[in-house]
Amino acid sequence: MARLILKPGKERSLMRRHPWIFAGSVAELDGRARAGDTVDVCAADGRVLARAAWSPASQIRARVWSFDPEVAIDHAFFKRKVAESVARRAAHPLLAGQAGMRLIHGESDGLPGVIADRYGAVVVVQLTSAGADKWRTAIVGALVQATGCVAVYERSDSEVRGLEGLQPVAGCVHGELPEGPLTIVENGVTMEVDVAGGHKTGFYLDQRDNRLLTGQLAAGRQVLNCFCYTGGFSLQALAGGAAGVLSIDSSGPALAVAQRNLALNPKLDAARAEWREDDVFQALRALRAEGRKFDLIVLDPPKFAPSAAHADRAARAYKDINLLGFRLLNPGGILMSYSCSGGVGLELFQKIVAGAAIDAGVDARIIHRLSAAADHPVGLAVPEGEYLKGLACQIG
């Protein structure tokens, strides 16, 4: 087995159990290894510290499989790690009865580059690292055995695979997808999930608790849901008794799915739902010109900053959209604002939202910090940028 030898002092983050080894920390690769191969990670003095997957095309040169250098990285390893991850979710009381949940959350479960989401009898897997890609067969087999699912669909089509020197991959890797639309029930609301063509793995599972909170806050309120995608926040607001919900998205196909989702829930009052296909920034300015006001606004935009290098540009976009949101709120209204940008941390995001409130001339206070970690096990480290950040602000 090849040895990845670190520069002097570069073992410190590894000793703190951070699972990434960056290119600047590597002194040399002693031996030969192909992308995805397992290597022993050694300190400059020769101590073997961990076993990791080698990725020569990435700035993250290696991702740790095990901090115990005696552990064999083989089919049995993945069978055990996947089974442990699935069992953790099965034992979690907050996930009881949920048809959609994240079964594996990468580094949080000791499986770097592996994402697995369950939608009823279907599991969607996303492999984003060279090591995960190499062990595809073992990971898929372990998922089938641990869950008893009828199908595993791979959605390894994210841009991050390019950073690992990998091509996009998508399609069934076990069984066949059921005929007709795939649906799940989330907190009493039925939603359609497009595992083949939808965003991420088909649905934004990480917002489940925040969608539920929206429903709990919505009773009697006029609600505005921006970047509504397939209507998750909108339908929870209707279920919670909202007086009216205006949902805006630039994607016509996403809005079509949102309206189908509404039809799947005949107990919800469709007359209280309004759908608008438009650029959200332009739509918010138009709503202000119309004199529209709302009691609860949800801002859940797509990723504005994929990395820290884009943080300045993203900050301007977040500032703009939150400023527009605050100006559309009625007194006592609540703004729920989110960021999934890895390059914008919670502290910066809070400053951006606070600045927007000041510029809007409103007295706003944070009433709740919103975050979601897609069912990752509590207490295990997740590399920076994996968390969704969010704030709920109420104006005077």
Give the strands of the sheet with 151-156, arranged side by side. 100-105, 114-119, 122-127, 151-156, 169-175
152-379-42 Cα angle (round to 5): 85
Question: Of these residues, 42, 228, 340, 393, which one is catalytic?
Answer: 340
CA distances, 297 to each of 118, 165, 187, 310, 365 (Å):
29, 40, 20, 26, 15
Own/partner pairs for 284-291, CB < 8 Å, 24+ apart?
A: 284/226, 284/321, 284/324, 284/325, 284/328, 285/324, 287/224, 287/328, 288/324, 288/327, 288/328
CA distances, 43 to each of 20, 36, 58, 142, 184 (Å):
14, 21, 20, 32, 48
- Which structure tokens are listed for 388? 């969704």
Question: What are the start-end ranges of the E strands in 43-85?
Answer: 48-54, 60-66
**Is 42 among the catalytic positions?**
no
Active site positions, annotated: 340
